[in-house]
Amino acid sequence: MKRFVVALFCACATVGAGATAIPATGSVQVLFTPWDDAEGAIVRTLGEARHSVHVQAYLLTSRSIARALLQARQRGVRVEVLADREMLQKGDNSQLPALAAEGIPVWLETRYAAAHNKVILIDAGEAQGIVITGSYNFTWSAQARNAENLLILSGNPALTRRYLDNWKRHRDEAEKYQGAGNER
């Protein structure tokens, strides 16, 4: 896998209405499926988590990613998940009930036509926090059948903070998942 070190700096404070320019620092790992092992990269990166993992998922059916989240929790890492309620209700293979059953807090987004974010934040409050994002859904199909992209961005505290603030805003609007058959 290729890692690129980014050393670009933006002289402006804002770009467009409400958008904040963040200086590009840290490293970028770029993966494209089905050729690159994006799922393996996510699992390995989750294995590096020491303090926190915040997930924002449209779909989460990958057993490998779910297992890595559970392993992080067993290591004492705080793991929290936001997901699209409609996709949970439509899908038979969601890993959300299993994660919730193991004590991982799960919230369901209901405000939007689609809560289409695909984000994992690892140790977001730390200097070496990591943002995982891209078109990649956390599913087997995203790895094996689809043309997807994934970015693993590390070493940019301002970026991870911005993503964490957005995650919290969505969580504050979401409904706590209560278990199978009771998604409201």
State how far the Cα of 60 lies from the Cα of 46, in Å rounded to an integer.
15
CB 94 within 8 Å of CB 61 = yes
The pLDDT value recorded for residue 181 is: 47
The pLDDT value recorded for residue 183 is: 43
The pLDDT value recorded for residue 25 is: 87
**Pick the catalytic residue: 37, 51, 116, 168?**
116
Strand partners of residue 102: none
Q: Pairing between strand 148-154 and 130-134?
A: antiparallel
Task: Give me the tens of pLDDT residue by residue for the chain, a chain 184 residues long.
Answer: 444 444 333 333 344 556 788 888 899 999 999 999 999 999 999 999 999 999 998 888 899 999 999 999 999 999 999 988 776 667 678 888 999 999 999 999 887 657 668 999 999 978 789 999 999 999 889 999 999 999 999 999 999 999 999 999 999 998 999 875 444 3
Q: 50: closest CA among 131, 122, 153, 151?
A: 122
State how far the Cα of 54 lies from the Cα of 105, in Å rounded to an integer.
10
- Residue pointed to by tokens 């050729």: 35
**Pick the catalytic residue: 36, 54, 84, 123?**
123
The pLDDT value recorded for residue 19 is: 75
Which domains are assigned to the chain?
22-176 (3.30.870.10)
Q: State yes or no: is 36 an active-site residue.
A: no
The pTM of this model reads: 0.85
Q: State yes or no: is 168 an active-site residue.
A: no
Q: State yes or no: is 118 an active-site residue.
A: yes
DSSP 13-82: SEETTTEE---B-SEEEEEEETTS-HHHHHHHHHTT-SSEEEEEES-B--HHHHHHHHHHHHTT-EEEEE
The pLDDT value recorded for residue 115 is: 61
State how far the Cα of 45 lies from the Cα of 58, in Å rounded to an integer.
20
**Pick the catalytic residue: 118, 170, 172, 176?**
118
